[in-house]
Amino acid sequence: MNLSKTHIAVVTLVAIGMLLFDWRGLTDIRTKIAYFSLYIPGFTLAILLIIYPNLPGPVQWMRPLFAPLAKLLFKS
Amino acid sequence: MERGQVSAAQVAVLSFTAVTATSLLTAPTVVSSVVKQDVWLSPLLALPIGFLIVWLIVKLNQIYPDQTLVQYSMKLLGRPLGIAVNLIYLFFIIHTTAYVLRQFTDFMKLTFLFTTPAFVVASSMILVCALIVRSGVEIVVRFPMLLLPVVLSLILMVYMPSIKDINLHNFEPVLSEGLVAPLKGAFRLMSWVPVFTFMNFYLPFVSNKRHVLWWAFGSVTIFTAIVFTTFVMVYAIIGAATPIYVYPFMVLARFISLTEFFEHLESLVMMVWVIVIIVRISFGLYSASLGLAQCLGFPSYRPLVLPISMIMVLLSYWSVSNVEFVFSPEFIIYYLIFGIGLPALLLTLSTIRQRFSKPHNGQDEQGEYNV
């Protein structure tokens, strides 16, 4: 528990540092919207992954998607 | 949106260094687990596919000289569908680059930095790549050119002392199981070759366009030559035990003991690996951020670099216990769909459009593209 608290603190520090580094480049309102629509889900995901490390991800969704095609290719 | 002048040769060096990156260490295991002693044949069988991919990309670039795949797919597929396809394509780039990052952190944790947290290794790597990418296309493209002599000489320093241990009898019997096994091995190699499609993000900046196709073919040929040499060296020395090791190239370097003076050459392997992985990740990161900025119509791609690299670090850990699945058939089909399928579809569409468009309409488009 203590370890994950440290991890959350480090990730938050890194995220704040990123925001400070990029802040002057964000002049355009559209760029700002796009930046935050990448930044906020990313940050949330980082915190979620620290708390629940076994969260199902894109790989688990991708496997069943391509499995029929792979089977077809390897049978013939 | 971005102005830069690079040469065709520099793009060729960038792309083959980037594609060679992860294949140097892990490809011998992945391929030889299916092919056994005919492992040397697989890269040669994969060569035509590489030529095809590169030909598609260069052909599309000749039709739309100042545009990347993201821009002309919006033009060819229509705006809403184009944006949807582009976002999936960009996710593909980010996703595959994330797994390269994961392979790098795994390698570092398994062989050198045993107690460092993986997050630190991954983030410091991505920070270097993000700084390179933010400096612009010229830095990204010229960086591998600068370090190519270092990489080549270090690789030769591993190969040269091992020549005396080569045992060519390891390759016998040749083709004992027919061509099916080497073809399967060539299919396994398809988790590297489709990365050549990322070239389309660099081709609009090339100043000497006349030679692009030959340089691109040369790039694929050099990649094949390096992989072929690695397979031959590794299999001729380690033999049938190759599939057992995770990093056979590393074993090769540890094996070397020349006059009891040149030993522990694995640190050289790490140097090569770090340099080449930086090239590979910046190759993907630049493509993803430029593509996203062009897809959404932004004036600059620079603000998007750091959020995308953050997402890359996360994707490399999200529900992934190890990266072996990258070489599974399902994942290779995912590579092939975006590596060959999408460019082939776009080229077909643009040929159809040229064939059936009215002459005056065609002139209009010509004027539009020659910006």
Query: Helices in chain B by DSSP H: which ranges?
Result: 8-35, 41-63, 69-77, 79-111, 118-134, 137-162, 180-189, 212-238, 248-255, 266-296, 302-317, 329-336, 342-356, 359-369
DSSP run (H or E) holding A73: helix A58-75
Nearest chain B residue (CA) to A15: B310
Closest CB to A59 among B119, B320, B333: B320
Nearest chain A residue (CA) to B95: A58
Shortest alpha-carbon distance between residue B304 and chain A (Å): 6
Q: What is the pLDDT along chain B (371 residues), one digit of tens a residue?
A: 556 688 889 999 999 899 888 888 888 888 888 887 888 888 999 899 999 999 999 999 888 888 888 888 888 888 889 899 999 999 999 988 998 898 889 888 888 888 888 888 898 999 999 999 998 888 899 889 888 898 888 888 888 888 888 888 888 788 877 788 888 888 888 888 889 999 889 988 888 888 889 999 999 999 999 999 988 888 888 888 888 888 888 888 887 777 777 777 778 888 888 899 999 999 999 999 999 988 888 888 888 898 999 889 888 887 677 767 777 777 888 888 888 999 999 999 898 888 887 555 544 444 444 43
Among candidates B148, B150, B173, B142, which has minimal Cα distance to B36?
A: B173
Confidence at residue A4, expressed as pLDDT on a 0 to 100 scale: 79
Rounded CA-CA distance B311/B290 in Å is: 16
Confidence at residue B315, expressed as pLDDT on a 0 to 100 scale: 87
Confidence at residue B1, expressed as pLDDT on a 0 to 100 scale: 52
Shortest alpha-carbon distance between residue B13 and chain A (Å): 31
Asked if the Cβ–Cβ distance from A35 to B307 is below 8 Å, we say yes
Helix (H, G, I), strand (E, B) or coil at B206: strand
Residue A1 confidence class, pLDDT cut points 50, 70, 90: low
Asked if the Cβ–Cβ distance from B319 to A63 is below 8 Å, we say no
Q: What is the ipTM of this complex?
A: 0.86
Asked if the Cβ–Cβ distance from A74 to B318 is below 8 Å, we say no
| Domain at B8-369, CATH homologous superfamily | Amino acid/polyamine transporter I (1.20.1740.10)
Name, in order, each residue with C-beta under 8 angstroms of B95's C-beta and a sequence gap of 6 or more: A58, B315
Shortest alpha-carbon distance between residue A5 and chain B (Å): 15
Confidence at residue B366, expressed as pLDDT on a 0 to 100 scale: 46
Q: Is B260 on the interface with A (CB under 8 A)?
A: no
Shortest alpha-carbon distance between residue B329 and chain A (Å): 6
B/e letters for A23-40, b = 16+ CB within 10 Å, e = fewer, are: eebeeeeebeebbeebbe
Pairs of residues, one from chain A and one from chain B, whose beta carbons lie less than 8 Å apart: 89
Confidence at residue A75, expressed as pLDDT on a 0 to 100 scale: 57
Domain residue ranges of chain A, discontinuous segments joined by +: 2-75
Which chain A residues contact residue B318 at CB under 8 A?
Answer: 45, 49, 55, 57-59
Q: Is B341 on the interface with A (CB under 8 A)?
A: no
Nearest chain A residue (CA) to B337: A66
Which chain A residues contact residue B334 at CB under 8 A?
Answer: 62, 66
Among B87, B308, B314, pick the best mutation site for testing chain A contact (most A Cβ within 10 A). B314
Closest CB to A66 among B317, B318, B330: B330
- Cα end-to-end distance, chain B, whole Å: 12
Shortest alpha-carbon distance between residue B127 and chain A (Å): 10
Domain residue ranges of chain B, discontinuous segments joined by +: 8-369
Q: Is B315 on the interface with A (CB under 8 A)?
A: yes
Rounded CA-CA distance B196/B17 in Å is: 11
Confidence at residue B371, expressed as pLDDT on a 0 to 100 scale: 35
User: What residues of A are in the B interface, CB distance below 8 Å?
Assistant: 7, 10, 14-15, 18, 21-22, 25-26, 28, 30-31, 34-35, 38-39, 42-43, 45-46, 49, 54-60, 62-63, 65-67, 69-70, 73-74
- Average pLDDT of chain A is 81
CA B13-B15-B19 angle, to 5 degrees, is 120
Would you say residue A62 has pLDDT above 60? Answer: yes
Per the CB < 8 A criterion, the answer to whether A35 and B304 are in contact is: yes
Confidence at residue B114, expressed as pLDDT on a 0 to 100 scale: 86
* Long-range pairs, B83-86, Cβ under 8 A, ≥24: B83/B295, B85/B342, B86/B291, B86/B295
Rounded to whole angstroms, the maximal C-alpha distance in chain B is: 75
Report the sign of the C-alpha dihedral through residues B294, B298, B299, B300, in that order: negative
Asked if the Cβ–Cβ distance from B303 to A46 is below 8 Å, we say no
